[in-house]
């Protein structure tokens, strides 16, 4: 099994892995091919921001980020299986998710079997840029606290297949595990999660969100370097990536970041928060709000009036501060992690968590994995088409018969 090759080193900026395909083996568990108009390629890179230090580490270290870049490729290029995560991280997830917290039947070797169906980018050139549409707008995604960005790769690749360049960014020490190019790891700093005192918890969440906001701006700066962008996206048109007209979506703390960043980052035109209680800058303390488009997407029972665990709903506070286009939708039969790849990955593996509660929240609801994936990516796609391409859609204007699970609280 070949996992990664062509280690490219960009001094001071980035180390790049070109991902490469696996030979198909009978025990492999394939996730669905992205369903949009395009096939999708993937590059993974490490970025080092020497201008900032890592706040969730005792030692003084620059911030080191891992990103995945999902880019559209025309359908003429065939897909093949690409590992869902490196084997070392997969083993960590086997152990983490089979612990009491989740109670998943995931013995060693479980997540290593999972594969995405993507195009190997190795032989692509700028001539392989897909025909009519030259430009695939840049979209930023960030994961929830405690969950690696890799558990959102199926969602990200499905959005990319709709004609977007989707960059997922990990938040080191604030997600469970980040594996770097040299094989080292950043593990979750539990002070982020364990504080029982609400004031401390909010202060830590604020620091986490501020750090993530800086991470996003740094990634946008890095991707504005055309040479670097071309090294990640082999079929990138010569105009490069447009880093000044982007949008962001995220799950949980990643969704919070997509809210808080709007007022400070001109390059992000709109944001979508999947099920995150808004704990960051601009909510409690300084509710500045935004006039940019913003959408809240909640699991069953998560809406403007019910937003655990806070006594005052952060969604209600934020809602009153949103002065532009805004929506609040709720998806029936879902839990907090239906806005990640957990449902589709667990379903394909044939495993179910025995502990359906995590941090007082329903982990995943009764909705089927493929349906959760379809629902999430359809609504995220409609929002991005609206913000970036100015396309209106019935999906954003109220309930539609194709998605009876989705209700509007506006």
Ligand X SMILES: *[C@@H]1O[C@H](CO)[C@@H](O)[C@H](O)[C@H]1NC(C)=O
Stretch near ligand X under the rule CB under 6 A, chosen from 224-232, 342-350, 377-385, 389-397: 224-232
Please give the size of the binding site for ligand X, defined by CB under 6 A: 38
Among 185, 187, 190, 408, contact with ligand X (rule: CB under 6 A): 190
Least Å distance between CB 272 and ligand X?
A: 19
Asked whether position 203 contacts ligand X by CB under 6 A, the answer is no
Of 125 and 227, which CB lies nearer to ligand X in the complex structure? 227
**Vertex 253, ends 247 and 255: CA angle to 5°?**
30
Stretch near ligand X under the rule CB under 6 A, chosen from 37-45, 101-109, 268-276, 311-319: 101-109
Count CB-CB contacts under 10 A for residue 55: 15
Stretch near ligand X under the rule CB under 6 A, chosen from 75-83, 147-155, 220-228, 365-373: 220-228
Of 154 and 211, which CB lies nearer to ligand X in the complex structure? 211
Of 51 and 286, which CB lies nearer to ligand X in the complex structure? 286
What is the layout of strands, in order, in the sheet containing 39-53? 4-10, 14-19, 39-53, 62-73, 165-169, 138-142, 246-251, 268-274, 294-299, 326-331, 406-408
Asked whether position 134 contacts ligand X by CB under 6 A, the answer is no
Per-residue x/- marks for ligand X, 342-371, CB under 6 A? Answer: -------------x-xxx------------
44 vs 181: CA distance, rounded Å: 9
Among 305, 350, 390, 401, contact with ligand X (rule: CB under 6 A): 305
Asked whether position 320 contacts ligand X by CB under 6 A, the answer is no
Which residue in this structure is represented by tokens 């979506």? Answer: 249
Of 61 and 122, which CB lies nearer to ligand X in the complex structure? 61
Asked whether position 316 contacts ligand X by CB under 6 A, the answer is no
Asked whether position 204 contacts ligand X by CB under 6 A, the answer is yes
Of 95 and 352, which CB lies nearer to ligand X in the complex structure? 95
Among 57, 62, 309, 324, contact with ligand X (rule: CB under 6 A): 57
**Vertex 360, ends 356 and 364: CA angle to 5°?**
35
Question: What Rg value do the Cα atoms of the chain yield, rounded?
Answer: 20
Which residue in this structure is represented by tokens 């977007």? Answer: 164
Site for ligand X in 225-254 (CB under 6 A): 225, 227-228, 231, 239, 242, 244-245
25 vs 13: CA distance, rounded Å: 36
Of 232 and 272, which CB lies nearer to ligand X in the complex structure? 232
Least Å distance between CB 194 and ligand X?
A: 4
Stretch near ligand X under the rule CB under 6 A, chosen from 34-42, 125-133, 299-307, 335-343: 299-307
Asked whether position 211 contacts ligand X by CB under 6 A, the answer is no
Smallest Cα–Cα separation from 267: which of 230, 226, 218? 218
Among 198, 306, 320, 392, contact with ligand X (rule: CB under 6 A): 306
Least Å distance between CB 45 and ligand X?
A: 9
Stretch near ligand X under the rule CB under 6 A, chosen from 185-193, 210-218, 312-320, 364-372: 185-193
Of 26 and 410, which CB lies nearer to ligand X in the complex structure? 410
Asked whether position 291 contacts ligand X by CB under 6 A, the answer is no
Residue ranges in contact with ligand X by CB under 6 A: 10, 13, 55-58, 91, 95, 100-101, 103, 108, 189-191, 194, 204, 225, 227-228, 231, 239, 242, 244-245, 263-264, 286, 288, 301, 303, 305-306, 355, 357-359, 409
């Amino acid at each position: 099994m070949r996992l990664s090759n062509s280690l490219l080193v960009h001094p001071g900026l980035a180390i790049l892995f070109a991902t490469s395909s696996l030979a198909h083996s009978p025990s492999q568990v394939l996730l669905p091919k992205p369903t949009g108009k395009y096939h999708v390629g993937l590059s993974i890179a490490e970025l080092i921001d020497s201008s900032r230090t890592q706040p969730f580490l005792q030692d003084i270290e620059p911030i080191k980020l891992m990103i995945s870049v999902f880019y559209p490729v025309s359908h003429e290029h065939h897909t093949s299986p690409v590992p869902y995560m490196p084997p070392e991280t997969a083993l960590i997830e086997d152990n983490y998710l089979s612990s009491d917290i989740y109670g998943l039947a995931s013995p060693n070797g479980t997540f290593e079997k999972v594969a995405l169906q993507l195009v190997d980018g190795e032989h692509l050139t700028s001539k392989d840029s897909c025909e009519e549409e030259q430009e695939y707008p840049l979209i930023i995604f960030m994961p929830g606290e405690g969950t690696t960005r890799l558990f959102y790769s199926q969602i990200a690749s499905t959005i990319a297949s709709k004609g977007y360049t989707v960059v997922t960014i990990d938040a080191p020490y604030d997600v469970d595990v980040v594996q770097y190019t040299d094989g080292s790891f950043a593990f979750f700093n539990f002070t982020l999660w364990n504080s029982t005192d609400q004031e401390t918890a909010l202060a830590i969440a604020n620091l986490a969100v501020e750090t993530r906001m800086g991470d996003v701006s740094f990634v946008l700066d890095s991707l504005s370097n055309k040479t670097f962008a071309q090294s990640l996206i082999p079929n990138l048109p010569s105009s490069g990536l447009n880093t000044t007209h982007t949008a962001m979506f995220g799950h949980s703390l990643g969704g919070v970041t997509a809210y808080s960043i709007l007022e400070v980052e001109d390059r992000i035109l709109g944001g979508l928060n999947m099920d995150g209680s808004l704990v960051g800058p601009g909510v409690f303390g300084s509710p500045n709000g935004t006039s940019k488009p913003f959408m809240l997407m909640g699991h069953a029972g998560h809406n403007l009036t019910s937003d655990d665990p806070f006594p005052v709903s952060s969604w209600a506070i934020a809602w009153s501060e949103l002065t532009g286009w805004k929506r609040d939708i709720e998806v029936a039969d879902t839990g907090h992690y239906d806005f990640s790849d957990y449902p589709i990955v667990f379903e394909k593996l044939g495993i179910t968590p025995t502990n359906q509660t995590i941090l007082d929240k329903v982990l995943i609801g009764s909705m089927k994995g493929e349906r959760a994936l379809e629902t999430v990516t359809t609504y995220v796609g409609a929002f991005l088409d609206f913000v970036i391409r100015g396309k209106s859609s019935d999906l954003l204007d109220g309930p539609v018969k194709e998605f009876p699970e989705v209700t509007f609280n506006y």
